[in-house]
A = this chain, B = another copy of it.
Amino acid sequence: MLISCPDQPGIVAAVSQFLFEHGANIVQSDQYTMDPEGGLFFIRIEFDLPDIEENIERFQRDFTHVANKFQMDWKLNLTSRKKRISIFVSKEDHCLLELLWHWRSGDLDVEIASVISNHPDTQPLVDSFGIPFYHVPVTADTKQEAEEKQLSILGDNVDVIILARYMQIISPSFIQHYADRIINIHHSFLPAFIGGKPYDRAHNRGVKIIGATAHYVTEELDGGPIIEQDVQRVSHRDNVEDLKRIGRQIERSVLAKAVAWHVEDRIIVHNNKTVVFS
């Protein structure tokens, strides 16, 4: 359960009292008060409640009273229900493969509804995992049409879209369908190298550290809420190809972490920033 609301005394008491009365045992709870910057209160509560699946409607109806009293923005997710994800990819397959691996090993506990690509290159790989692959070419002229096709493939039961090195810009109207539900991996340490060819530019600038950034996609290019970042040292000996190779390793692990946190409902987005209860 993820809650955000204006801070005031009694929130934790009210929520924990409610859960106790409904027979739930709190397993984990993380909270954060953004005091000087707007007085907002965020909390994530993970609890055990054996019969919640049958009684979820009543549970939610009852909680509405608590929520209204404190003007809460809240959502409740059952861990028993797996998130459904769709992966968008272009030609480079390292991020896709990392996700497929984590999925097959059980470390990423989701259902992969589809892999959608503007190139056919990764089809054999995706087929070998038994996951539906859709080739949807995109050109400047066919972009709108392609996005409509993508939306129809996605249907209405995909929880989150992962851009695993998908090299097309998503249109604002598409983004609105999946607000705070499209995760992109940007191959640099944002906001250092927004836009294309970040490793070339990092090399030209002579940086000693390169990085990767996973963020939610918003209309502003590479400007959405940052979920996770990581970096690695490089030196003058590393040419652009080396930076790309090193960068691929960072991209893989950063994206995998961000996706895991999202599907475990550990992220609250607020004011273009993320609160990550990792």
Contacts and interface: CB of A to CB of B under 8 A. Distances in A.
A206 B225 CA distance: 7
20 contacts: A10-B20, A13-B19, A16-B17, A32-B237, A36-B239, A37-B239, A94-B105, A107-B245, A189-B192, A189-B209, A190-B207, A191-B205, A192-B192, A205-B273, A206-B226, A206-B272, A206-B273, A208-B227, A209-B211, A236-B276
Interface string A12-55: 11001101100111111111111111000000000000000000
A59 interface: no
Contacts of A237: 32
A54 to B, nearest CB: 19
A157 interface: no
A180 interface: no
B20 A16 contact: no
Contacts of A251: none
Nearest to A106: B245
A251 B36 CA distance: 26
A94 B273 CA distance: 30
A231 to B, nearest CB: 6
Contact of A20 (B13, B94, B192, B249): B13
| Nearest 6 pairs of A and B residues by beta carbon | A206-B273, A13-B16, A13-B20, A12-B16, A192-B192, A9-B25
